[in-house]
Structure 1
Amino acid sequence: MRANVVRRPLFTWIGLTPAVGFYACAIYVAAFLPEDGYAPPLAIAAFTFFFWLLGWHSAIRFTATHLSVTNIVVTSTVEWSDVRRVIVHDGLGIELRDGRELGSIAFGGSLIGTFSGYPTYQTAYRTLQKARKKAQHRERHGGPVRVRWSIDWRRQLTAAAAIYGPLLLLLALRG
């Protein structure tokens, strides 16, 4: 089952723009600077990976049965039946049946949002509200809320390979 993804466009661009810049710097250092070893370009590429994690990987994903919130590395997953409501208060949040709240870095709180009512979050809010209403879940009245924390290592490993693979190839050809 393919997951739907909700991202905040401005936050995504704010994360991906420096990622591209750092990657261009890493390629430049690897290709054109004197042979100082592998460390400088690989260290610069680490910033590319970090900004990719922050801007693109950090998102809210959902299927017909589950909701996942990814913040940089850690993903919190709950069944829709454990979600009480989606709220926009001090950012976009997912309130669980037991009163806990899952928040997203991408949809975090801000002073401007507090005064303006978070107008840029309304599309994501409506999307999640609609998904929650359509969710296929078994009703569970009571019982503990089950939040599963995980690290999506496959997606992160793929991104690291896409970032470091060409860079290591360039460094190997240079040396």
Structure 2
Amino acid sequence: MSENVVRRPFFTWLSTVMGVAFYACAMGAAVFMRDDGYAPPLVVATFVVFLWMTGWHSAIRFTDSHLIVTNIVVTSTVAWSGVARITADDGLCIRLRDERELGSIAFGGSLIGAFTGYPTYEKALRILCKAHKKARRGGKWDGTVQLRRSVRWRQLCAAAALIYGPLLIVLAVSG
């Protein structure tokens, strides 16, 4: 069962470019600011982890049977049978059958979007509505909505290792 991912391209790439730039600053600080200690590069690297979590890690994923919404650290998983509808009213909104809402940081509401009708969300809305419609064809739609919240700690640990590992090596070698 493959997992499909829906992201906002501009939001993702802007945070990636900013993350790379800040990571270069952290590495430069680690090499050239040896007398200032470890704090400046580690603080900048922490900001890089935050940029990764908001821009790349925060996304809407789905399979044939489930919808998965990741917002920074918390991941919400619900079966398609628990989803009532998906709209782009105040950002991308996933309304569950029990009237709870799942929102996404990446597809959140904005003042400009309120005036323009969120045209940049149309592709994501179309993809998710198509997946929801496909899941509804063969699904059972009764019972309670099971919403499970979790932390995708493996991805968070891998990102932290990729960001802090080389930085700590540079700090150890240059110190």
TM-score where L is the length of structure 2: 0.94
- AA of the residue aligned to 1:127: I
Residue 3 of structure 1 is matched in structure 2 by 3
- In 2, Cα distance between equivalents of 1:58 and 1:95: 19
Deviates more, 1:10-19 or 1:52-61: 10-19
Q: Is 105-114 or 147-156 further displaced after alignment? A: 105-114
User: Any idea what SS the aligned residue of 1:109 has?
Assistant: coil
- Establish whether residue 156 from structure 1 lines up as the match of residue 156 from structure 2: yes
Matches within 5 A, 1:7-156: 7-135=7-135, 138-141=139-142, 143-156=143-156
Amino acid at match of 2:108: G
Task: Please report how far the alpha carbon of residue 135 of structure 1 lies from its aligned counterpart in structure 2 after TM superposition.
Answer: 2.0
Higher mean C-alpha displacement, 91-100 vs 7-16: 7-16
CA contact (8 A) 2:34 2:174 kept: no
Q: Which amino acid aligns with 1:46?
A: T
SS in 2 for 1:107: coil
**Unaligned 5+ residue runs, structure 2?**
none
SS in 1 for 2:35: coil
What is the CA distance between 1:2 and its match in structure 2? Answer: 2.6
CA–CA separation in structure 2 for the residues paired with 1:40 and 1:73: 24
After the TM superposition, which of the residue ranges 58-67 and 38-47 deviates more from structure 2?
38-47
Q: In structure 1, what residue type is equivalent to 2:9? A: P
The Cα offsets for residues 47-74 of structure 1, whole Å up to 9 and x where unpaired, read as: 0000000110000000011001111110
Q: Which deviates the most, 6-15 or 124-133?
A: 6-15
TM-score under structure 1 normalisation? 0.94
User: 1:75 deviation in Å?
Assistant: 0.5
Provide the rounded CA distance (Å) in 2 between the counterparts of 1:39 and 1:72: 24
Percent of counterpart pairs with the same letter? 61
Distance 1:35 1:2 in 2: 49
Output the CA distance in 2 between the equivalents of 1:42 and 1:74.
24
